[in-house]
A and B are shown apart, each in its own frame.
Chain A
Amino acid sequence: MTEKILKAMTPKRKNALNGKSPVMTYLVVLAAYAVLELCIKTGIMSSHLQGLLVPMVYYAIVAVGLNICVGILGELSLGHAGFMCIGAFGSAVFSLLTDGVLPDGLRFLLAFLIGVALATLFGFLIGIPVLRLNGDYLAIVTLAFGEIIKNLLNALYLGIDENGLHASLSNQMALGLSPDGKMLINGAMGVSGTPHDANFTISMVVLLIALFLAQNLVHSKHGRAIMAIRDNRIAAESIGINIVRYKMQAFTISAAIAGAAGVLFSHNISTLQASSQYFGYNVSIMILVYVVLGGIGNLRGSVIAASILYLLPELLRGLNKYRMLIYSIVLIAVMIFNWAPAAITWRENLAAKFRAGRNGRKENA
C-alpha cells in the first residue's frame, strides 16, 4: 500500500542525476531524524554524540549548497566556508543586538533570515568577478575570497553604544566605546554570548528546506538552463540561454544555503571565532570531499556522505593516533565503492538481484 502511495507521489520522471527520486530523499532524512530523536529520548545516545548532531546537520546543509555549485552548475568552489562564515557572523551579531529585546523564536527567525540574506548578498557580489572565470581559475579565486572573508572578520572589532555602531580593524581600544557599550565582534576572540538557539530539530528542518529548494531547482526551467551551461556552454549560448544570469543564480543560491548552515553554526557554539579551524580553506575542501564522495550532483549522497564522514573521525577519537589513518582508508573505500567501474557493476547486479527477489516474492504472495 505504502509503495502504491509513494509511486503516486513520486513524479514519473526521476531525478535526472543518478535516478534518485526527490521524495525518497526527504524520507531518508525524516527516518534518520526519527531514529536519532528516539535515541536521544530513550537516553541511548551519549551527550558527546548528541553534541555532534547539529554540526553534522549543518555540514550536510553546506554540502547540499556546495553541490548546487559543483554538481548542478559544474564549477568548483573552494570558498564555501567563507559564505558559512558570513552567515554565522551576521546572524550572531543580530542575535546579540536583539537578545532580550525580541522573543526567542522571532529573534532566531530574523537572525536566520539576516544570515542568509548577507550570505546571498556576498555570493552575488563575489559571483560578479568570479563567474567570469572557469575551472581551476574559478576555484582559486573562490578560495582567495573565502580566506579574505575569514581574515577580515578575524581582524574586525565591532561594538555598539548609545552613539551607534563602532568598527575598527586595529584593536578594541580604537573603537572608543563608552563604558556601558557592548562588544559585538572582538577581533580574533570573535563573538561570544550568542544565544543557543539552534537545536537538532531546527537544523533538520533547515536541511529539509535546503533539500527541497535544491531538488526543486534541478527539476525546473532555471535548473535545466544551469545544467545546460554545465554540459555545454557553447550549445547553451546557441539556444539563447543567458550564461551569466544563470551562473549567478546558481552560485548565489549555493552561497545562501551555505549561509544558512553558518547561522546554525553560530547559534550552536558559545564562542564564534573566524579561525582556520572553522572557516579556513581546509574546511571548504572538507565540504568538497563530502560532495565528491556523496556523488557530484547527487543531493541525497551529499547528505549521507557529510553525516558519515563528519561523525566518523569524531567517533574514532578513542583510537587516538589511528584515527586519521582509518578515516583516510574509509575515504578511499567510499571512493572505490562509488566510482570504480567494477564496483558500479557489482552494485547494479546486487540491485537487480534484490529487485528480482522482491518481484518473485510478490508473485508467490
Chain B
Amino acid sequence: MALLEVNNLCISFGGLRAVDDFHLTIEKGQLYGLIGPNGAGKTTVFNLLTGVYAPNEGRIILDGQDITGHKTIEINQDGIARTFQNIRLFSQMPVIDNVKAALENQYSYSLFDSLTHLGKYRRVEKEITERSMDLLKVFDLDRFAETLASNLPYGQQRKLEIARAMATNPKLLLLDEPAAGMNPNETAELMKTIELIRDKFGITILLIEHDMKLVSGICERLTVLNFGRVLCEGPTKEVLSNPEVIKAYLGDE
C-alpha cells in the first residue's frame, strides 16, 4: 500500500483554481519530486498536505488513515513534517533548542516541573538533550549546538530546519525548495544529507525543487504541476525528457 495517496485535490481562492484535480501516490521509502514552473501551485499543495489550507474537494490518505481537513498540529502528529521555502527557524534560540522544541510531543512533564525543575524535569531533560545531540550529529550540526540559530551560515540553517522536522519522527518529510539560494557546493552537500536521512531513518521524502541537478540526481519519481494541474508523472528520466514538460518550462519554439 502506498504511504501517501492524494486524490482529486482541489482548492480555489476566489475565482482562481490554484490546485485542480491533483493526485499523487508515493510509496514508502521513495524520494519523490514535485516540480513545475513558478506559480504552478506546488507550495499550495504542500500547504494542503500540512493542513494550512483545507481542500475544497479531494482526499488525503496517509498510511491508510484519512487525514483530510486535519489541522496543522494534528497533521504533525499524523506523521507529516515539513520545511519552508523561506527558512523559518526559531532564530533567537540556540540550535539545540530548535531541535528540542520539536521533541515537544514525545516527552512530557508538567508545568509545575518546568517552573520548579523538580519531579521528572531532570531525567526527561537529559533524555531530550541526548536525543537532540544525536540528531544534530547526524546532520553534522553538533558543533553549533549553542550557537543562536540566526547566526548559522545559510546552508546550515537549511540543514537545521530539516533536522528540526526530523525530530518530530515523521513518516513523510516535505521539503519546500531545500536548495534555494545555495551555491553548488552547498547543494551537493544537501543532496548527500537528503539521501542520508532517507537511508538512515527509512523515511519517505517529497520535495519541491527548481534545481534540476538536485532533482535528477536524487528523485526517483516526479510529478510536474502546471497551472494547478498535473501535467505528467513518472520516473524522473522519462518525465524530464517529456516534450510537454520542456514546453511548460521553456515555452514553444
Contact = CB atoms under 8 A, between A and B. Distances in A.
Nearest to A13: B146
Range class of the A interface residue count: 20 to 34
Interface stretch (A219-227, A313-321, A323-331, A336-344): A219-227
Interface string B9-52: 00000000000000000000000000000000000000000100
Contacts of B88: 232, 234-235, 238
A238 B114 contact: no
B72 A222 contact: no
30 contacts: A13-B94, A16-B92, A212-B116, A213-B115, A213-B116, A216-B114, A216-B115, A216-B116, A220-B113, A220-B125, A221-B100, A221-B128, A222-B111, A224-B97, A224-B100, A227-B90, A231-B91, A231-B92, A234-B84, A235-B84, A236-B101, A238-B50, A238-B88, A238-B165, A239-B102, A239-B104, A239-B164, A239-B165, A240-B76, A240-B168
Interface of B: 50, 72-73, 76-77, 81-82, 84, 88-94, 97-98, 100-102, 104-105, 107-109, 111, 113-117, 121, 124-125, 128, 146, 164-165, 167-168
Given A216-B114, A223-B114, A238-B82, A232 B76 contact: no
A348 interface: no
A154 to B, nearest CB: 33
Nearest to B113: A220
Contacts of A212: 116
Interface string A240-251: 111000000100
B116 A241 contact: no
A241 B115 contact: no
A253 to B, nearest CB: 8
Contacts of A213: 115-116
State the majority secondary structure of interface residues on A.
helix
A228 interface: yes
Nearest to A244: B73
Contacts of A216: 114-117
Given A222-B111, A225-B101, A227-B93, A239 B167 contact: yes
Nearest to A74: B92
Contacts, number: 103
Given A222-B114, A224-B93, A249-B111, 6 more contacts: A220-B117, A221-B107, A221-B114, A232-B91, A238-B76, A239-B76
B217 to A, nearest CB: 27
A242 B73 contact: yes
Contact of B101 (A234, A239, A242): A239
A170 B24 CA distance: 68
A232 B89 contact: yes
A223 B98 CA distance: 12
A234 B115 CA distance: 26
A56 interface: no
Nearest to B80: A238
Contacts of B165: 238-239
A323 B182 CA distance: 57
A212 B116 CA distance: 8
B83 to A, nearest CB: 9
A237 B72 contact: yes
A151 to B, nearest CB: 32
A217 interface: yes
Contacts of B167: 239
Interface string A184-209: 00000000000000000000000000
B77 A228 contact: no
A230 B88 CA distance: 12
Contacts of B97: 16, 224, 227
B174 to A, nearest CB: 10
A118 B236 CA distance: 63
A241 B108 CA distance: 13
Contacts of B124: 221
Contacts of B84: 234-235, 238
A289 B133 CA distance: 39
Contact of B104 (A13, A241, A297): A241
Interface string A38-57: 00000000000000000000
Contacts of B146: 13
A195 B116 CA distance: 31
In the A-B complex, list the 6 residue pairs whose CB atoms are closest, starting with the nearest.
A220-B114, A240-B76, A231-B90, A235-B88, A222-B114, A239-B102
Name the residue among A222, A236, A239, A253 with the largest chain B CB count within 10 angstroms.
A239
Given A13-B146, A216-B117, A221-B104, A239 B168 contact: yes
A16 B108 CA distance: 21
